Amino acid sequence: MTEARLSGVIAAIATAVDANGEPDCARSTALAKFLLDHGCDGLNVLGTTGEATSFSIEQRRKLMNAYREAGLPMARLMVGTGAAAVGDAVELTRHAAELGFAAALVLPPFYYKGVADSTGRFRFISIISRPCRAFHGMSACSPASCRASATGSRD
């Protein structure tokens, strides 16, 4: 990911689909451009609002490429790269970094046993991306405080 820090008004946006239910790259990038041109400081694309986990890995990669190819300011975009399969999340997060997205949003493990506690969540995210910044709802924490939360330590 880039070293840029997202701040200000960051909108979570929907992903446009065509009549066949396929992602519509042209309409999705047009919406993103419109929102950035009309007051949003940044955007969250392909997050849960953008129905990302309903799309295949290839569809998600195609949409991610479309945002870059449309000339959108990648330093103002974060992208959802979460997936139930760790390998898929790693692949998507690496692709996001290669494209220059400012950040990746990764879902915590939500189904499997042994990863639902703080330590398991931190280890899961750490496998996918370093450095990481975790947030719960609207409150963010730094990597150091994530580690403290995950291990129960305060160092």
Strands 134-136 and 139-141: antiparallel
pLDDT at 106: 82
**pTM listed for this prediction:** 0.75
In the chain, residues under CATH classification 3.20.20.70 are: 1-107
Per-residue pLDDT tens digits for 53-106? 889 999 999 999 999 999 999 999 999 998 888 889 889 999 999 999 999 888
- Domain 1-107 belongs in CATH node 3.20.20.70: yes
d(C-alpha 36, C-alpha 99), whole Å: 18
For residue 23, pLDDT over 90 is answered with yes
d(C-alpha 132, C-alpha 106), whole Å: 10
pLDDT band at 147 (very low <50, low <70, confident <90, very high): very low
